[in-house]
Amino acid sequence: MDSQVTIGDGDFKYMVLENWERMPDGYSWRETAGVATDEKDNVYVFNRGEHPMMVFDRSGNFLKSWGEGIFTRAHGVSRGPDNTLYCTDDGDHTVRQCDLDGNVLMTIGNPGEASGLFSGRPFNRCTHTATDPDNGDIYVTDGYGNSRIHKYSPDGNLIESWGAPGTGEGEFNIIHNICTDSNGYIYVCDRENHRVQVFNKNGIFEAAWSNVHRPCAIYIDAEQKVYVAELGYGNNVSKDVPNIGPRISVLDQTGKVLERIGNMGYGFDTGQFAAPHGLCLDSNLSIYVAEVARTNMSHYTTPPDTLRSFQKLVKL
C-alpha cells in the first residue's frame, strides 16, 4: 500500500488500496473492464491484456489466469449460479458461461458475427449480464450497437427482448450494465441518458433514477444497497467539472443517494478515479473497481506505458 487515503463518509467510508494485485513476472493488463468475486472472496478481474481473466485471493495474491485465445475484448463479468461466471465480450458479440477454472460451459451469440446495427436482434456489441435469483434466467444488455435487453433461459434459449433507441421509458442510449435484486427487479445503466432504469422481470418499466452521471456499472449488496460507478468525464464534458464524477455512488432501492464515494475529481492520485467501468463487493463489503483508464485517457492524450486501472476500497 502506497499511502492511507480514505474516501466516503459515515457508513460508507473506505481506505483506498492501490497496487493491491501481485502478478507473476511478465504478467500485466492494459486495462481492466469488469470484476466479480466468488463465494470464497476470490477476485476475477476481466481485463484487456494477454491473460483476459486473472484470479486473485482477497489479499491480492495471484492464483491463476484463463481465457487466453478465447476472449477478444473483455467488457463485463457477473456471477452466475453453481459457481459459474458470465463473461461478456463486446468485441466478439458473445456471452460465455464459464466455470471458475475457465472451462466454457455455454456460449450465447455467434462468435465474431454481429447482428445488424440497431436491428434489435442479439448481439451487436453486448455489454453485461445479470441473472434472475429465482430461476436463473439470464438478462443480457446489448449494448453499443443495439438498445435492447435480451432475456434467456438458463440453457441459453431466447425468451424475449425489449428496448429501443431513445430517451423514453424502456428506451436506451448505450445500455451498459445490469443487475438484479433479491426480488428479481432489474436495474439497468442507461449510460448516455444519465439514468438508471428499473424493470420487473417481465420487462415492465418501474422507475428511472436521473441523479447519476454516465452510470457505467451497477451492483447490489446483500442489504440491497445499490452501488453505481459513474463514468463522469467524456462526451465533451470537461474532466475539470466538479460533482459529476468519476465516482461511486450508493443509493437505496428508491434511488435516494446515501453517499458519493470519491469527490477529488478526475485523475490518478490515490482517492481519485479516471474511468470506473466495472465494480463488485466482497463479503466484507469492500469494493473492487475496474477502470478503462487507457481507453479514457486516449480520448485526449497518449497514455503512458504503465497506467493504473484497478483499485480496492477497503470498508472501514
pLDDT digits (tens, 9 = 90+) for 184-216: 999 999 999 999 999 999 999 999 999 999 999
- As for how many domains the chain has, the answer is 1
For residues 237 and 225, what is the distance between their CA atoms, to the nearest angstrom? Answer: 28
Exposure string (b/e) for 155-172, b if CB count within 10 Å is 16 or more? Answer: eeeeeebbbeeeeeebbb
Summarised one tens digit per residue, pLDDT across range 101-129 is: 999 999 999 999 999 999 999 999 999 99
For residues 127 and 246, what is the distance between their CA atoms, to the nearest angstrom? Answer: 20
Q: According to the model, what pLDDT value does residue 139 have?
A: 98
Alpha helix ranges (H) inside the chain: 293-297
Average pLDDT over residues 137-157: 97
Cβ distance 150 to 186 under 8 Å? no
At 243 the three-state DSSP class reads coil
> Could you tell me the pTM of the whole model?
0.96
Q: Which three cell numbers stand for residue 248?
A: 461511486
Residue 180 belongs to what domain range? 5-315
Of 24-33, 115-124, 233-242, 292-301, least confident by mean pLDDT is 233-242
∠250-251-253 over CA atoms, to 5°? 145
**196 closest CA partner among 225, 216, 182, 181:** 216
Q: According to the model, what pLDDT value does residue 1 have?
A: 42
77 strand-pairing partners: 87
Q: According to the model, what pLDDT value does residue 236 have?
A: 62
User: Domain containing 214 — which CATH number?
Assistant: 2.120.10.30
Average pLDDT over residues 279-297: 96
At 158 the three-state DSSP class reads strand
